[in-house]
Chain A
Amino acid sequence: MLQIEKLTKRFGDKTAVDAANIAVDTPKMIGIIGRSGAGKSTLLRMVNCLSDATEGSIFFEGEDVTTLRGAAKRNWQSRCAMIFQQFNLVPRMDVVSNVLHGTLNKRSTAATLFNLYPQSDIHRAIEILDRLGIAEQAPKRAEALSGGQQQRVAIARALMQDPKIILADEPIASLDPMNAQVVMQSLRTIHEEDGRMVIANLHTLDTARRYCDRVIGMRDGRIVFDGTPEQLTTGVARDIYGADASFSEAATSTEIETLDRAEVRAAEVYA
């Protein structure tokens, strides 16, 4: 389905991503972990064609997306949705309009200018918002929402694109633990119910372990680990993060369970 071959990105003499090889056959939920600056974001941005690869190629269902230009490239971008750490919504527009931005690739600029979205699209946008539990926020401005709600609007925009792949670049890094759990759970639900591939950059190990089927570890631009969450032992994690024996997962955890076991059980029942 998705094949990344010897993908390399250089900024001047600095190599951000160094000959990365990833092959995915069936839609999975994949977590990419690594230190800040390990090249996780650059990798995702290249898959979405937000930045060009220096070398290498990305094949999706046999088509090399790194060579796409113009309308073909924008069409690929609409099939591969992206979610950002800072949500990247248009703050002054209402929630439904932000979700409708997911259909921009199919609309002309003139229709967009006069806000002429078809009624079916508007209804679908509100249904997606309802699925994410924020339908009541529909007429509000995006900037009036909390961080967790804004991230769910961003996920709704991604779903509106009806993509094959959802890329999530640190989706929970600026959220509190409760909202982080809601957002990760939403991504997991989308993966399981719709069968979409989800690739998420995560900076906490426990999130990757808990929600992902497969974990990829990056260090200094190279892929140093690729396996199941069970194979991700503390020793391997220390290698990925280049940490010494004092490294402890609990120290960076955003999960509530590390603080209070009882609350986690409650949350799981809830979920």
Chain B
Amino acid sequence: MADISLSGTPHSVDSIQASYMAQVQRRRLYGGLTLLIFVVLMVSGFNIADDRNAGGFWEGLHQIGDYPADVVSEAWEKRADLPALIAKFFPALVETINIAAVSTLIGAMGGLFLSLLGTRGLAKWPRLIPVFRRISDVMRAVPEIVIALVLIFVLGGGPVPAMIAIAIHTAGALGKMFSEVAENADLKPVEGLASTGASWSQRMLLGVLPQVAPNYVSYTLLRFEVNIRASAILGFVGAGGLGYELRNAMAWGPGRFDEAAAIFILLFGTIVFFDQVSSRYRNRLTEGQAQ
């Protein structure tokens, strides 16, 4: 009863304990050294950056709250005007959301094609997979603001250059995320459809998309949230919308801080709203998938 061992000739427990302890000591030594190197690098890197910093980190640290404090105190003094200001900037908010929505839609479609063409096992032209992958790399490597600045220079200011800039970045980013989902898709339905003589687009539409749709929609909603922020920032460089108004209010300095506060409230409220809506919707999609 007592001997339940299946082993042939076991080593003595002592030697196993000793060799395992030696292994643990070695691992702890390596772990400690790694931690030490990490701390040394962080501290020295911080000091170098602090030396080169014009203002100095420690001298500036206590001033970090000054600007928000100015904005909040001025906005609080003029709090009676806030509802009117929020109403005034609401059209700009709609413009910002529109830019985000259109660019997410166009970007998601672009990302869909890039992902299907750049995934091993699914691609229509397997030899061109690296080409499509590099295209999507380039699209998400170039920052939106750079594309937007070039396009604003060429096309003039307004929402269209911002929309194109965000759509390009979205297509690259979603292409990468989509293709990781598609890599895990089950290929058996695709093979089944191929055996009936279905074309590539039919195989993708009926064999792959139903499997990956919940994840694709979920990533697209996440991207929509990111794009609202991005389109607000692009307003700073002249793409219109809420960001443009915010830059004006901030650049004017004291006196217009109530406007800045109103815009911050709008932006914050919008992001919270869409975050809540999309996270609820995403939960439903992933839970629905589990059932």
Question: Could you list which residues of chain A lie within 8 angstroms of chain B, going by C-beta atoms?
Answer: 96, 114-116, 119, 122-123, 126-127, 130, 132-136, 138-139, 182, 185-186, 188-189, 192-193, 271
Contact = CB atoms under 8 A, between A and B. Distances in A.
Contacts of A192: 1
B20 A115 contact: no
A126 B17 contact: yes
B201 interface: no
B35 to A, nearest CB: 8
30 contacts: A96-B20, A114-B28, A115-B28, A115-B31, A119-B21, A122-B20, A122-B24, A126-B13, A126-B17, A132-B4, A133-B4, A133-B5, A133-B6, A133-B7, A133-B10, A135-B10, A135-B11, A135-B13, A136-B10, A138-B16, A139-B19, A139-B23, A185-B1, A185-B4, A186-B4, A189-B1, A192-B1, A193-B2, A271-B1, A271-B4
Given A114-B31, A115-B28, A115-B31, A130 B4 contact: no
B46 to A, nearest CB: 23
B13 A130 contact: yes
Given A115-B24, A115-B27, A123 B17 contact: yes
A153 to B, nearest CB: 14
Consensus secondary structure, chain A interface: helix
Contacts of B16: 126, 130, 135-136, 138
Contact of A134 (B2, B7, B17, B23): B7
Consensus secondary structure, chain B interface: helix
A81 to B, nearest CB: 18
A31 to B, nearest CB: 18
Contacts of A123: 17, 21
Contact of B20 (A114, A134, A139, A186): A139
A182 B6 contact: yes
Interface in B1-59: 1-2, 4-7, 10-11, 13, 16-17, 19-21, 23-24, 27-28, 31
Contacts of B6: 133, 182
A122 B5 contact: no
B254 to A, nearest CB: 47
A185 B4 CA distance: 7
Which of B2, B4, B5, B13 gathers most chain A CB within 10 Å?
Answer: B4
A116 B35 CA distance: 14
A127 B14 CA distance: 9
Interface residues of B, number: 19
A135 B5 CA distance: 10
A189 B17 contact: no
B283 to A, nearest CB: 18
A122 B17 contact: yes
Contacts of A186: 4
A135 B10 CA distance: 8
Contacts of A182: 4, 6
A168 to B, nearest CB: 15
Contacts of A271: 1, 4
A136 B20 contact: no
Contacts of B31: 114-115
Contacts of B23: 139
Nearest to A148: B6
Nearest to B1: A189
A127 B5 CA distance: 13
Contacts of A96: 20
Nearest to A188: B1
A269 to B, nearest CB: 12
A243 B29 CA distance: 61
A126 B27 contact: no
A182 B5 CA distance: 8
Contacts of B17: 122-123, 126-127
Contacts of A130: 10, 13, 16
A257 to B, nearest CB: 18
A271 B27 CA distance: 38
Given A136-B16, A189-B4, 15 more contacts: A115-B28, A119-B21, A122-B17, A122-B21, A126-B13, A130-B13, A132-B4, A132-B5, A133-B6, A134-B7, A135-B7, A138-B16, A182-B4, A192-B1, A193-B2
Contacts of B13: 126-127, 130, 135
Nearest to A185: B4
A148 to B, nearest CB: 8
A115 B25 CA distance: 10
7 closest A-B pairs by beta carbon, nearest first, are A133-B5, A130-B13, A126-B17, A135-B16, A123-B17, A186-B4, A133-B6
Nearest to A114: B31
B232 to A, nearest CB: 38
Contacts of A133: 4-7, 10
B68 to A, nearest CB: 34
Contacts of A193: 2
Interface in B140-164: none
Nearest to A113: B31
A226 B91 CA distance: 72
A179 B2 CA distance: 17
